[in-house]
Amino acid sequence: MPTLTHLLVYPIKSCGGIAVREATLLESGLSSHGVHDREWMLVTEDGRFLSQREHPRMALIRPLPEGGNLRVKAPGMGDLLLPLAWREAPETSLRSVQIWDDTVRALDAGDVAADWFAKAIGVREPIRLVRFHHDAVRPTSVKWTGGVPSQTRFADGYPLLLIGQASLDDLNGRLRAAGRSTLPMDRFRPNLVVDGLAAFEEDYLASLSTGTAEIRPVKPCARCPIPSIDQATGIPGRDPMDILQTYRANPRMDGAVCMGMNCIVSAGAGSLLRVGQEVAAELAF
Domain segments of the chain: what residues? 3-27+140-283, 35-137
CB proximity list for 169: less than 8 A, separation 6 or greater:
199
Task: Specify the pLDDT at position 153.
Answer: 98
Task: Specify the pLDDT at position 164.
Answer: 98
Separate counts of helices (H) and strands (E) for the chain: 4, 22
Tens-place pLDDT, residues 2-20: 999 999 999 999 999 999 9
Mean pLDDT value of segment 194-221: 97
Mean pLDDT value of segment 172-201: 98
Contact call for residues 236 and 225 (beta carbons, < 8 A):
yes
Mean pLDDT value of segment 91-111: 93
Task: Specify the pLDDT at position 87.
Answer: 77
Is the pLDDT at 118 greater than 90? The verdict is yes
Q: How confident is the model at residue 86 (pLDDT cuts 50, 70, 90)?
A: confident
Task: Specify the pLDDT at position 115.
Answer: 98
Task: Specify the pLDDT at position 258.
Answer: 98
Task: Specify the pLDDT at position 285.
Answer: 75
Overall pTM > 0.85: yes
Task: Specify the pLDDT at position 26.
Answer: 98
Q: Select the more confidently predicted residue: 92 or 143.
A: 143
* Share above pLDDT 70 across residues of the chain, in percent, rounded to a whole number: 99
Mean pLDDT value of segment 207-213: 95
Is the pLDDT at 92 greater than 80? The verdict is no
Distance CA 33, CA 9 (A): 10
User: In degrees, to the nearest 5, what angle opens at C-alpha 193 toward C-alphas 191 and 194?
Assistant: 145
Mean pLDDT taken over the chain? 96
Mean pLDDT value of segment 192-216: 97
Tens-place pLDDT, residues 38-60: 999 999 999 999 999 999 999 99
Q: How confident is the model at residue 108 (pLDDT cuts 50, 70, 90)?
A: very high
Task: Specify the pLDDT at position 265.
Answer: 97
Cα of first residue to Cα of last residue in the chain, in angstroms, is 18
Q: Select the more confidently predicted residue: 23 or 211.
A: 23
Task: Specify the pLDDT at position 159.
Answer: 98
Measured on CA atoms in the order 134, 210, 172, 255, is the torsion positive or negative?
negative
Mean pLDDT value of segment 175-184: 97
Q: Using CA atoms of 205, 207, 209, 214 in order, give the dihedral in degrees to the nearest 10.
A: 150
Q: Tell me, what amino acid is at 273?
A: L
**What is the fold, at CATH topology level, of the domain defined by 3-27+140-283?**
M1 Pyruvate Kinase; Domain 3 (2.40.33)
Tens-place pLDDT, residues 272-285: 999 999 999 999 97
